Amino acid sequence: MKVVKYLIPYVLISSFNYYFAKEAISSASPIVFNLIRYLISTAIFVSLSKKVIFSKDIIQLAIYTTASSLLWAYGLLYVTPAESAVLSYTMPLFSIPIALLVLSENPTLIEIIGVIIGFSGVILYGLPLIHGFTLLGSIVTVVNAIFWASFSVYYRKLREYDPLVVNSSQFAIGSIILTLLLPIDYKVDLNEQFAYGIVYTSIPGGALSFFLWNMMVKIEKISRVTVLSFSVPILTTLVEYILYGTPPLLIQIIGIILMFIGILVSRIRKI
């Protein structure tokens, strides 16, 4: 399975990305945080591709990616890394209808069943989050998931293009968008904590993770790839337990099990 060689590093990188991002945004606004990430990623991809293109699809991709990144960061102001991971990975539920609408890509019955099982796990995991001030963060993070589903579909739509060029272009356009938004909130404290966070979320958790995700949706249809993303909240929750000694609730453990079952079911080839 070709997608595995991209999936494994993607899951490992993404599972820690939430923690480094949480650290970084405690010292900078989400706009500044993402602008620096995007400028670094632009420099990396432009140096590799030597090319930036502007087209309707690329611009739409950049808008969806930038919106997703901003909402993800704003959500992290209110929710924990593990909560953000789980809420973000409601994305597969949204990706299927968007792929159907944009790409006319029809999922199989088994793929739909896998997504439904996995998403039911997300719902169970998220039930304890509906309280206090985490509600706002939960809503913002789920909207981020809709934009993530959208840019995933556009990665798939642009699969005939060189992924290096696609990413150099989307990050360059995204950097312009974020620069225009900078006057809204330009707070930043350039401390050691911010430096560690921004380096990780810009290079492995930024440029590399976007490239790996792009390669996965380039290889396989949206409905098969996106359900694999449930691997990230599963591992992120485990990491949170190891690092902070915070065990998930029983209902959340059941949710994680369902997410894992959803992944397995979706990989069954026929039905």
In this prediction, residue 213 has a pLDDT band, given cuts at 50, 70 and 90, of very high
User: Does residue 58 lie in a domain region?
Assistant: yes
Per-residue pLDDT, 228: 78
Per-residue pLDDT, 271: 46
The larger pLDDT score, comparing residue 246 to residue 168, is at 168
Strand partners, 28: 188
- Measured CA to CA in angstroms, residue 252 lies from 96, 114, 177, 235 at distances of 25, 18, 37, 13
Q: Count up the domains in the chain and report the number.
A: 1
User: Does residue 266 lie in a domain region?
Assistant: no
Per the structure, the complete domain to which residue 98 belongs is given by 4-106+131-225
User: Does residue 241 lie in a domain region?
Assistant: no
User: Does residue 99 lie in a domain region?
Assistant: yes
Per-residue pLDDT, 257: 86
pLDDT higher than 80, residue 180: yes
User: Does residue 242 lie in a domain region?
Assistant: no
User: Does residue 247 lie in a domain region?
Assistant: no
User: Does residue 246 lie in a domain region?
Assistant: no
User: Does residue 31 lie in a domain region?
Assistant: yes
86-129: pLDDT as tens digits:
788 788 888 888 999 999 888 888 888 888 888 888 778 777 76
Q: Is 50 left (phi over 0), alpha (psi -120 to 50) or beta?
A: left
